[in-house]
Amino acid sequence: MLRAIFPRADDVRVQLSDQVRFVDQGANWERVLCPFDATELSAEWWQAAMDQAYQKDFNDLAVTLPCCKRTSSLDELHFEWPAGFARFSLEVRNPKGDLDTERISQLERTLGLSLKIIWAHY
C-alpha cells in the first residue's frame, strides 16, 4: 500500500522491533518545547532525560519538566520537527511526493492504529 502511494520512492520498508526506539527527525531537529507552557527545553536537560529513559529501554518515558515542574512524557514533548517513540514504523526514503490526509487516514484504517508523521533528513 505504501509502495503504491510512493511509487518513485528510493526505498519503502517496515521496521518492527522488540524494544521501543526513538524515531528522530535527523538534521530537521530544531528544538523541543514544554507541552504545557511552550518553554524551550535545554538540550542538556533533554539529553539527560533521554539517557535516563534509555536505561529503562524507553519503557518509562515519564519526566518532570524543569520549567513548570509538571509531570509529562518524553513522547508528549513538542518537537520542532516532530519526533517520537515506537516499536513499529513505516519508512519511505526520498518519497518524491507528499502524504495527504486522506492517504494517512487510509493507512491508519488499514493498520488499525494512529500514525505520527516524522519527516527526517539525513
Q: Which residue has the cell 536505561?
A: 55
Q: Is residue 116 part of a domain?
A: yes
Inter-residue contact 75 to 87 (CB < 8 Å): no
The one-letter amino acid at 49: A
Count of domains in the chain? Answer: 2
pLDDT of residue 55: 97
- Are 11 and 34 members of one domain? no
Residues 92 and 75 in one domain: no
Q: Give yes or no: residues 75 and 92 share one domain.
A: no
Q: Would you say residue 14 lies in a domain?
A: yes
The answer on 46 and 8 residing in a single domain is: no
Q: Say if residue 57 is in the same domain as residue 99.
A: no
Please check whether residue 23 lies inside any domain of the structure. Answer: no
Enumerate residues 6+ apart whose C-beta is below 8 A from 117: 82, 99, 104
Pair (54, 75) in one structural domain: yes
Q: Give the structural domain span for 47.
A: 30-80
My answer on whether 73 and 101 are in the same domain is: no
- Tell me the C-alpha to C-alpha distance, in Å, between residue 72 and each of 27, 33, 51: 25, 12, 16
Q: Is residue 25 part of a domain?
A: no
State which residues of the chain have pLDDT below 70: none
Shared-domain flag, residues 118 and 103: yes
Establish if 122 belongs to a structural domain.
yes
What pLDDT sits at residue 122?
A: 79
pLDDT score, position 98: 83
**Beta carbons within 10 angstroms of residue 6's beta carbon:** 19
- Which residues make beta-bridge pairs with 80? 31
The answer on 93 and 65 residing in a single domain is: no
